[in-house]
Structure formats: structure tokens, C-alpha cells
A and B are shown apart, each in its own frame.
Chain A
Amino acid sequence: MSTNLLSFKNITKNYSGNTVLKNVNIDIRSGEIHALVGENGAGKSTLMNILFGMPVIHSTGGFEGVMELDGKAVDIKSPFQAMDMGVGMVHQEFMLIPGFTVTENIKINREITRDTGLNKVTKKIFGSRIQTLDRPAMSADAVKALETMEIGIEEFTVVKGMPVGHMQFVEIAREIDKTNIRLLVLDEPTAVLTESEAETLIHAMRNLAKKGISIIFISHRLDEITAASDRVTVLRDGELIITKDTKDTNVIELAELMVGRGVSIDRVIADRAGSGDVILTIKDLHVAMPGERVSGVDLEVRKGEILGIGGLAGQGKLGIANGLIGLYQAKGEVVFDGKPLPLGNARNALSSGIAYVSEDRKGVGLLLEEPIELNIAFTSMQIHNKFLQSIGPFRFYHAQSIRANARQMIEDLDIRCTSALQPVGRLSGGNQQKVCVARALTQKPRLLFVSEPTRGIDIGAKKLILDLLLKLADQGMTIVMTSSELAELRSICDRIAIICEGKVAGILKPDAPAADFGLMMSGAADLVKEETTFPHVIPPDSFAVGADFGNLGTEGGAE
């Protein structure tokens, strides 16, 4: 149990000057379940990409440091090489062929073929590719792999139509069927599983570990990590924070380590209590956004506040704004400014005074080949009929007012460009973001949704954008900001809603302890102390930044 199967030694990786892993040292022992914990961007995926020799690593200049397998340095150049060395991966997305049976999926590209009779002849002529399959032998192998996990899936079932949990097991079975398998990486395997399926999976992992197979277990659910793993490693911002025996730690400590207690909050709390009126009420919102599914969010937004929406990737935080605006199919009850807001078409939301800055700047946010001025004026023109001149029954592009508005915005937001006619595709990320914000501001919205406003832009531009949002809030605009960067949310928001598994896990004060944020993100909201949270639905006349809601209790977590 104590020998090291795999060691990462002083692993450092840069992506074009941006260090994503710094001197990371991790030992994976034989037959242990080693959990890897960290926020998005902590470096977990990069580490796994290095382990599998993914092309993305080698095409960006490789990495520094050494990987040792059985104490010998190895140089893994491709995923195939990793497979030959007995390292297997179960992917988050299912890589199964729906029309094939379980057996066929498990044995795909490693089929057992017959070598008798006619096959001997055809093999000589055409090679082994056209030999017939030895189905009984294949089935036997599949059954053996499935039995290792002690789950009752029949090997002759067709994958299509199976419960997603079972598909996950089939994927794992495919990995353990590889005869030389010694290390298995499970990346968020429980994300799609029900609670009982997750338990079965953890049981299966334990069985595999007993047989000497090491497992690297990546999950955001800290309770599962403590239940399943032998040791746990916490990564944060590319650095190894700690490796501990799981029995010596607990969920709260892990949450704190993951988020980081040393986050300096550079925060000027303004008194933005506003009138305290509710401007937006969301009840039981469901949004079918792939990868960011929202399943039953209740939330209230108060006039004049900055409400942050945080949470780990894939938990549904991005789906809320997208669903409200109408980019993805949504259902639920939304009341904006006293009037019900019909979902499903952006026109409803935009014309009622809501503006939206998308997280997908290049895909949704901009017309990259069109000039800055058109990008800024576009929504106001189409929705509010501004910047148009009428000739008879027709309305035409009014160049002067569009140009004047663009010039004003370029000056106000300090957009760095050669002229208002420059195509936005040529601008830097930060300036593109400013164009998106400029378009939203041109609509003169009463409620502004911004999603990931600082994604992919440099630090200087980040600060400019955040300052701009603060300034807008001071001028009385209500802002709902969705972000993956907790520090950013904590620096400007008045309240922060944490989304976990498609629901609001709880609403925290920006100065709440780091551990509370970590716990809520990891589905352990019930461990958060009450005095650091706000209730989801605000009782009248009780809203003020820093007010004490201790006696109101939380409604987060296990609904």
C-alpha cells in the first residue's frame, strides 16, 4: 500500500506566459483512491492532460518536471502511450456508441477474434481486420469487468436508453477490462449520478482499489471525497496546497483550503441598500442550457444592488441569465418590476428594460466583422427603435446618431480602438468586453445582467470593468453579475448567491468566511453558519448590507 505507483515531481506548466501549475509534487500510491480537489482553473485538468500526454500540452511547449511510474521517469507523449502504460481515463462526457451493446462498447477496438477455419485463410489475405468476432469470449470479458464493480448490468443490453448512471459504469468497465490497467482517472464521475448510483460507484471504486488499481478521483462534491478517498490533494491557482490523509481532515477544512483563506478583498463597501424594493423575482426557474442546467432556482433581486452569482462550472450559474433572456428554453415564474416576464424570447426581456452581457463574448456577444459603432447600437436599434430615421413606412440606419453614440461610449468606457468603424474582431479581449458593456448601457437598462465580465482579459482591464460596474451601481443601476471568480464577486457584490447542482445553495455576505463559500459550492451548504448568509427571499424592509439575518435561518442546500 505504501509504494508509489505514480509520482509527479516539480511539475510546472505555462500557457503563453501564464503559469497554470507551479512546482506540483504528488505521489499516487498503489491501490489508493487519491482525491484531487480544486476550483475551476486550479490546475486539475492541466495535470491530467500532462499525465495523458495530451497534444494540447506538447503543442504549447511541454512542461517542466518529471513524472515517474514505478520509480522510473516516463515521458508520455500521447494518450495511446498512457494507455499502454496502464493509465486509463473515464471521461465526463460519455464516449459510448448508443446503438452498440454493453459488450461491444466495452470491447471496442480490442475485439476478440476467432482464429480458426475460414478465418485462417481470410487473415492471410486481408489481415486480421476482417476476422469474425468471438462473441462468447467478449461477453465473458465484459461480464468479468462488470462483476469487478459488483453491479448488475446485463452485457447484452444496448447502451441507448440506459440510465446515465449505468453508462458511466460501462465506461469504467471498458477501462478496467484493459488487462494492464493500473491507474484509473475518474473525472467528476458522480456529476450525472443519483445519490444511490454515486454510492454504488464509490463501492465499486473501493473494490477496484482492493485489487491494487490506483484511482485518481476528481470531484467537486467534498462529502463524496471524504467518503471515498484514502488521501486528498488540494490544488489552488496551480499550486499544491496540501496532501493529507482523508481521515485527518474534514469537509470544512477542505472547503477552506480549496477557496483559500488568504483572499484579500479589496473592497469599498458603498451604501447601496437602495430603496429595498424587489425589482426581479424568480420562482422555480428551470433552464435547459446544455452543461449549465438550472433546475429550480428561487431568487430575488433588489433595486440598486449588485447581486453576485457564483458556483463551480457546470452547476448552472450561467444558465440563469441565459434562461431569463431567452437564449435557452426556460420555464418558471419571473416578475420584473411588478409585471410578469414571459420567458423564451429575448425581445420580451430586452424591451422591458433588461440588458444582458453574455459570457460568450465572441459567440453571442459580438458581430466580429462589423464595426464597433454598429455593435454598440445594434440592440437599441432593433428593440427600442433608436438610431433610425424614418422615410415613409421604412426605417433606415441613421449613421450620424450611431457614430455620435459610439464616440461617446468610446470616450466614457475608454475603448482603445483606431476609430468607431474598426471591426470589433480586431480589438483586444478587454476592449471587446467594453463594447459589449457599451451596447448594454446604450439600451439604458434598469437591470443589467453581466456574465463572466472579466473572462479572458488581462488584469488591468479586469479592474477597469469591475470599477465600471461599481460606478453604474452607484448611479442606481441594478446589476446581476455571474462569475467564476469568487474574489471578483466578493470585491464588488452586495450579496452572493452560490449555485450548486442547478439550485441556489445559499446567499452569502461578501465578507463571509472562505470556508462557507467552499462548502456551498461543494454541496455542503448545511454546514454553513447561519449568520453569514442571507435568506433567498428577502422579507420586506429588512435589506441592508451587513444586516444581521441570523435569526431567519437558511433555506439553502437540501431542497
Chain B
Amino acid sequence: MDTVEKSTFSLKSLVSRINVPTLIVLVFWIFIMILGVINNVSLTSMITDSIGRFGALGILSLAMVPSIQSGTGPNFALPIGMVCGLLGMVCAIQFGFTSWGWLIISILLSVVFACIIGYGYGILMNAVKGSEMTIATYTGWAFVWLFSMLWVILPFTDLRLRLPLGQGLRQDIQLAGINARNILTNSLSFDINGIFIPTGMILFFFLCCFLVWMFMRSKKGIAITAGGTNPMFAGAAGLHVNRNRIYAGMLSMVLGAVGTVIYAQHFGFIQLYLFPMMFAFIAVAAVMIGGATVRRANITHVIVGVLIFQGLSANMAPVANAMFPGTDIPEALRTIVQNGIILYALMHAKGGGGK
């Protein structure tokens, strides 16, 4: 009897430790995979897709950790960081870099752009305390539209970037042309029974996670967290809460920019113009599904959330296609489910225990 009671107790405590939304979306993901198998979608390709998306989109969700911990809330202005990433990549092509050189220079340039823009964004967030999330969303969108004009005007001359006719940059810029398609994805990669493991990209994501984890445990990182959980406490300990919020905003934007470069090399092309618009919601939804709140997020939330949410997103399309071939239903279904999950995640984005 004793052991039975003990095991039910520990099961209970395990369940109570796992976030309910996490569990529900996980169950739904498994359900979709089963549906896929029933409809003759290959399981290995589904798993490959999931892992690929996990590696490609992880860093964008990781960007939420510093901004949530600093008390600014999820970084709904992520498109700003993403535009910095796009700008870095386009500049690197313009300067004639290819292959690994292009990847490294793209990352360096986007980090610089993101730092500059992130600083201004941090100041804005300090000016609108209390309504950061809404203002961030619209600022992000406005920035995307601003760059939609700038992509046409900016004086890029490289023919791989420009539209063949007329003025401005292309909608999609192929990375195959500069030998950078899948460059990180394919490095160190291998197959297990047909499942493709993009080792280089996954390792890079984990490296970023490790760096952010280290940063959050540094003196500055602890100060940022304290300022986020209790600004009065941080102030009484002599910290500059507003300045720390700016640093956190910059770090978040940098991660957004780097994440965009990784995303682009994985899918093989740079998408300009309206591409970044809705990514903030995807990135935020993933950490929320992982168990984060608008006041507290850690690396575990990111890894768990991205795996489940992006895994589900990756498998939705092929499964729906197999079930309703030759119709528009799969696309509609995919949109409904993905946005439904975002809505669900944001509904559960409950405020933490802080003030």
C-alpha cells in the first residue's frame, strides 16, 4: 500500500511540476504525428522536420529570456532584431562574402546593428513602463514597414540582391548563390535511419543557450533579474534598474538578429519585406508553451517550449496535406491551429508573483 501511495504522490508532484499548457500541446503534437502515420506521412521526415525547425527557430525564442527576466515582458518587438539580422546578411553579401565568411560577417554585422537599435528600443521601453507589450508589438511592426520602404531605397548594388528589373531588393535572396545554403545546418550533420540531425545548428543553439544561461548567472544578469522581479528591491540595492532593462533589451535584440541569420541559412534564402511581421508571436508562444510567464522565463522553458511548439508547427502542414490532398484546407488548418496555439499560450501568459 505504501509504495502505491508513494508512487501516486510522486506522479502527482510530477504532473504539478509540468505546466498544463505544455502537456496539452505535447499531447496534441503526438496526436498529429499519429494522424500522420495513419495517413502515410513518413515518421522519419516528420521527426527530421521537427528537429530542423527546433534548431532554426530556437534562438528567436531564446531572445525572450533576457527581456522577460528584466521585467520588460516578452519581446514583442522581436521583428526589430530580425530586421537587423536581415540587414546584416544583405550587407555581408554586398561586401562580397560567401560561405562561412558570409555567415560569420552576417552575424557580426547584425549584432552591431541590433546593439544600436536595441539601445534605442530599451530607452523606449523605459518610457512606456506598464504597457511595454502593446507598444513593443506596434513598434516592431512599424519598424518592419519602415524597412519595407528602405529595402527599395537603400543603395545596394550587388546583382544577387537587386531585382532584375526596376528598383530595390528582391523578395527572396537565394543563399545557394553564395554557397551559404544550409551551411551551419549541414555541418557535422549525420543520418540515423533516415532522420537528419543538423548537429552544427543544434550545437550553435545550445551554445547560445549556454551563453545566455551564463549571462543570467553573472553579476549583471542577477541584477537584471532582480530589477525585473522587484524594482524597489533592486533600487534599494543600488542598482540602475532602467539601465539594466536597456541591456536586457539589447541582448534580446541581438539574439533576435542572430536567430534570423540561423533561420535564413537553414531554409536557404533571405526573405525581406514583411517576412518578420508575425515572428514575435511564434517565438513568444513557444516559451509560454514551455512554461514561462510574462515575468519569469528560463532556458528550460525555451528548450522544452521550442521543441514542442515548433515540432507541432513543422508536422501540421504535411499531415494536413496528406489528409486533404489538393485543396486549400491544409493551409487554412495550419493557420488556425498555429494561431490557436499562440492564442492559447498567450492566454496562459499569467503574471508571476512579482509586484
Contact = CB atoms under 8 A, between A and B. Distances in A.
A364 B214 contact: no
B218 A397 contact: yes
B340 interface: no
B241 to A, nearest CB: 11
B110 interface: no
A349 B296 CA distance: 30
Interface in A327-365: 327, 345-351, 356, 358, 360, 363-365
B6 interface: no
Interface stretch (B79-87, B116-124, B229-237, B309-317): B229-237
A350 B237 contact: yes
Interface string A346-390: 111111000010101001111111100010001101110100100
B238 A350 contact: yes
Nearest to A365: B233
B237 A383 contact: yes
Interface string B201-245: 000000000000010011100110010011011011111000000
Given A369-B354, A395-B218, A397-B217, A345 B229 contact: no
Interface residues of A, number: 34
Given A367-B229, A369-B229, A396 B236 contact: no
Contact of A364 (B217, B232, B238): B232
Contacts of A350: 237-238
A360 B232 contact: yes
Nearest to A380: B237
A538 B6 CA distance: 68
A357 to B, nearest CB: 10
Contacts of B214: 394, 396
B222 A364 contact: no
Given A370-B229, A396-B218, A382 B237 contact: yes
A325 interface: yes
Contacts of B296: 369
B155 interface: no
A381 B218 CA distance: 10
Residue among B218, B233, B354, B355 with max Cβ neighbours from chain A (10 Å):
B233
A364 B236 CA distance: 7
B138 to A, nearest CB: 29
A382 B232 CA distance: 15
A314 interface: no
A32 to B, nearest CB: 45
A346 B236 contact: yes
A346 B238 contact: yes
A370 to B, nearest CB: 7
Given A367-B226, A369-B352, A370-B229, A388 B219 contact: yes
Contacts of B239: 346-347, 382
Contact of B237 (A346, A348, A370): A346
Contacts of B218: 394-397
Contacts of A394: 214, 218
A425 interface: yes
Contacts of B352: 369
A381 B219 contact: yes
B256 to A, nearest CB: 22
Nearest to A439: B237
Residue among B226, B237, B353, B354 with max Cβ neighbours from chain A (10 Å):
B237
Contact of A327 (B236, B353, B354): B236
A378 B236 CA distance: 11
Nearest to A322: B236
B353 A346 contact: no
Contacts, number: 79
A385 B218 CA distance: 11
Interface residues of B, number: 21
Contacts of A367: 226, 229-230, 233
Nearest to A356: B236
A368 B219 contact: no
A383 to B, nearest CB: 5
B209 to A, nearest CB: 16
A379 B222 contact: no
B232 A378 contact: no
B353 A368 contact: yes
B98 to A, nearest CB: 32
A455 to B, nearest CB: 17
A364 B237 CA distance: 9
Contacts of B353: 368-369, 425
A325 B236 CA distance: 7
Nearest to A350: B238
A370 B222 CA distance: 11
Contacts of A356: 236
Contacts of A348: 238
Contacts of B237: 346, 350, 378-379, 382-383
Interface in B320-355: 352-355
Contact of A378 (B217, B226, B354, B355): B226
Residue among B236, B239, B296 with max Cβ neighbours from chain A (10 Å):
B236
Contacts of A370: 226, 229
Contacts of B217: 396-397
A379 B230 CA distance: 14
A354 to B, nearest CB: 11
A356 B233 CA distance: 11
Contact of B233 (A325, A364, A396): A364
Nearest to A348: B238
Residue among A356, A365, A383, A397 with max Cβ neighbours from chain B (10 Å):
A397
Nearest to B354: A369
B223 A346 contact: no
A327 B235 contact: yes
Contacts of A368: 230, 353
A365 B232 CA distance: 8
B355 A363 contact: yes
Contacts of A347: 238-239
A347 B214 CA distance: 25
Interface string A139-160: 0000000000000000000000
A267 to B, nearest CB: 31
A364 B355 CA distance: 10
Nearest to A345: B238
A110 B237 CA distance: 50
A78 B32 CA distance: 57
Nearest to A443: B237
B222 A381 contact: yes
Interface in A194-218: none
B60 to A, nearest CB: 25
Contacts of B219: 381-382, 385, 388, 395-397
B353 to A, nearest CB: 6
A350 B217 CA distance: 22
Given A345-B238, A383-B238, A366 B222 contact: no
A219 B296 CA distance: 46
Given A327-B232, A368-B230, A383-B238, 8 more contacts: A349-B238, A351-B238, A356-B236, A364-B230, A370-B229, A381-B222, A382-B239, A383-B237
28 contacts: A327-B232, A327-B235, A346-B235, A346-B238, A363-B230, A363-B232, A363-B233, A363-B355, A364-B232, A367-B230, A368-B353, A369-B352, A369-B353, A369-B354, A370-B229, A374-B222, A378-B226, A378-B237, A381-B222, A382-B222, A382-B223, A382-B239, A383-B238, A395-B219, A396-B214, A396-B219, A397-B217, A397-B222
Interface of A: 325-327, 345-351, 356, 358, 360, 363-370, 374, 378-379, 381-383, 385, 388, 394-397, 425
Interface of B: 214, 217-219, 222-223, 226, 229-230, 232-233, 235-239, 296, 352-355
Nearest 5 A-B pairs (CB), nearest first? A347-B238, A346-B238, A364-B232, A397-B217, A379-B237
